Amino acid sequence: MQKRVVFRNWWLPYLLVAPQVAVTLVFFIWPAYQALESSLYIEDAFGFSRNFVGLENFEALWRDPSYLRSFRTTLVFGLSVTVLSMGMALALALAANRVIRAATTYRTFLIWPYAVAPALAGVLWFFMMNPSLGIVAYWLEAVFGYDWNHYVNGNQALIMVIIAAAWKQISYNFLFFLAGLQSIPKSLIEAAAIDGASPARRFWTVVFPLLSPTTFFLLVVNLVYAFFDTFAIIHATTSGGPADSTSILVYKVYNTGFVGQDYGSSAAQSVVLMVLVIAMTAIQFRFVERKVTY
Amino acid sequence: MVENRPLLTFLTHAVLILGVAFLCFPVWMALVASTHPGEALSRSPIPLWFGDQAVENYTQLLTGGVPATGGVPLSQMLWNSFVMAIGITVGKIAISLTTAYAIVYFRFPFRMVFFWLIFITLMLPVEVRILPTYDVVASLGMLNTYSGLIIPLVASATATFLFRQFFLTVPDELVEAARIDRAGPLRFFWDILLPLSRTNIAALFIILFIYGWNQYLWPLLITTDQDLYTIVMGIQRMANVGEEVPIWHYTMGTAILAMIPPVFVVLAMQRLFVKGLVESEK
């Protein structure tokens, strides 16, 4: 945790940590405390007075069907994005780990979408799937006779934002899977091959189990990404619609607080999200600890 | 490769080519769309090959802007994004370096309190404290300023941990040697520790630049002045126009301009990027 040899100075270390601690206190801890506090109050419409109501804001959320629906939407969205992007990334990483020819070229073409902002990923797919002129919507209509209109159909809107969110995340997962695959000792795979195991069998009995720390790590990271970082995708394209069908929890906090001006409820939603992040971060760190001793 | 299986090799390349196509196709369509006049994009199917309006479209975007964003030229938005991204990156690296240095190389009361305080920020992304943070920034008079865009985002638990981890691997003998030569703590930091951290700083710089450039919710909250819009946030005004039809050739041109700087950074410094990504997540 610390050096054996240290410097002695009674004021310098405080000066060195001051900027970071100041920013943390002012912009992180204090607002978080404020959110906790105002989740226990109901403010009147003009902001003149507020009444302590205990957990009433949370109870109201629990009874609010649109909030429960948003919870379900978030789960469906998060799980779909995670499974879709991790699945594709694993397939690509397995392939990239196997090729010899053009390996670097493939890798270059596969990693750049990491740099594309979620908002831009959303806008790109919004354009591709636009019902009147998007090329994907056109193909769906021409080849399958399928009518695509995410402005009207809530499920289609959800599918669109899922694809956009997963598309952006593939590069990230790909890099971690590739690093995981490269750290598996070649001798294990060769031994399995000598024993006559087919490539598919080698994957399921040797590679996949050895990859499980990476998989678990990515699972948590992807869920956090899908729950929190995808606000931009939703906001820039569907605005939570049609009829709230793409209104995930983060979007709802923003909408309740900034557009609806309902401070108490927005704060209560913030607290629910905070609990969610804390739980997920805790899981992630426990896993990292385990990996260290492993 | 363990054995030679031509069919599997074929399948491998097929998977990779499909993957590359899936990842590149949306950007291809955006590039193509941004080179056509508006009318070409008003009926389906839209062209799959470049048009002849590239120069006109991009000139209009960079100098004249688009009505939907109040006619702010995109060069202004790109500049804002650049200032914000660089400000966040430099700020995060600077204060994380000093914090990590203090925590590793000094023994002082409340050391662990500070450490845990910074650790907690990992669990409080902007998204979960939107309104109160907005209130704080508003009461400090930092709405619609560059400092409001930058300062609230410069705390970084990940960067602090990364540097702390790295400092712990630096041999103690260096400190002893420095002390024998009568170098003070600041001198040691500046002349020995910083040069040693160069690669780590560079790798982190790439990751943080992308993070800063791609910020969306934060600029959306605290800028109402069009002259301070960042490009990633500004595109939302063009795409999400409610009942109207977006001006697609301009919107796609904007998307392309907005993704060029971070994508360029990733491609130009691929090895450092991979290092930074893998290490900052540990």
DSSP for B145-204? SHHHHHGGG---HHHHHHHHHHHHHS-HHHHHHHHHTT--HHHHIIIIIHHHTHHHHHHH
CA B137 to chain centroid, in Å, comes to 21
DSSP state of B242: T
Instruction: Give the mean pLDDT of chain B.
Output: 86
Cα A229 to Cα A119: distance, rounded to the nearest angstrom? 10
pLDDT in tens, B16-30: 999 999 999 999 988
**Minimal Cβ distance to B132: which of A14, A31, A199:** A31
Buried b (16+ CB within 10 A) or exposed e, B112-134: eebbebbbebbbbbbbbbbbbbb
Buried b (16+ CB within 10 A) or exposed e, A126-145: bbbbbbebbbbbbebeeeee
pLDDT in tens, B245-254: 778 888 888 8
Domains delineated in chain B: 34-280 (1.10.3720.10)
Cα A24 to Cα A29: distance, rounded to the nearest angstrom? 6
Domains delineated in chain A: 65-293 (1.10.3720.10)
- Given pLDDT bands bounded at 50, 70 and 90, which one contains residue A164? very high
Cα A219 to Cα A57: distance, rounded to the nearest angstrom? 31
Chain B (188-227) residues lying within 8 Å, Cβ to Cβ, of chain A: 188, 210, 213-214, 216-217, 220-221
- Binary contact (B45, A138; C-beta < 8 A): yes
Number of Cα atoms under 13 Å in the Cβ half of residue A145: 0
pLDDT in tens, A249-269: 888 888 888 777 777 788 888
Residues constituting chain A: 294
Average pLDDT over residues A132-138: 83
One-letter amino acid identity for B236?
Q
pLDDT in tens, A20-70: 999 999 998 898 888 888 888 877 666 667 777 777 788 888 888 888 888
Q: Which residues pair with A42 in a beta bridge?
A: A51
Chain B (14-53) residues lying within 8 Å, Cβ to Cβ, of chain A: 15-16, 19-20, 22-27, 29-30, 33, 41-46, 48
Residue A111 near residue A177 (C-beta atoms within 8 A): no
Cα A158 to Cα A155: distance, rounded to the nearest angstrom? 5
Which residues of chain B are within 8 Å of residue A25 when distances are taken between CB atoms?
Answer: 117
**How much of chain B exceeds pLDDT 70, in percent?**
95
- Given pLDDT bands bounded at 50, 70 and 90, which one contains residue A78? very high
Cα B135 to Cα B139: distance, rounded to the nearest angstrom? 6
Question: Nearest CA to CA, how far is A28 from chain B (Å)?
Answer: 6
pLDDT at residue A292, as a whole number:
40
**Angle of the A12-24 helix axis to the B111-120 helix axis, nearest 10:** 30
Grouping H, G, I as helix, E, B as strand and the rest as coil, residue A41 is strand
- Binary contact (B131, A266; C-beta < 8 A): yes
- Given pLDDT bands bounded at 50, 70 and 90, which one contains residue B2? low
Determine the straight-line distance between the first and last CA of chain B, rounded to whole angstroms: 29
List, as one string, the DSSP characters of A60-124: HHHH-HHHHHHHHHHHHHHHHHHHHHHHHHHHHHHHHHH--TTHHHHHHHHHGGGGS-HHHHHHH
pLDDT in tens, B36-88: 887 777 776 777 788 777 787 888 778 876 766 666 788 888 999 999 999 99
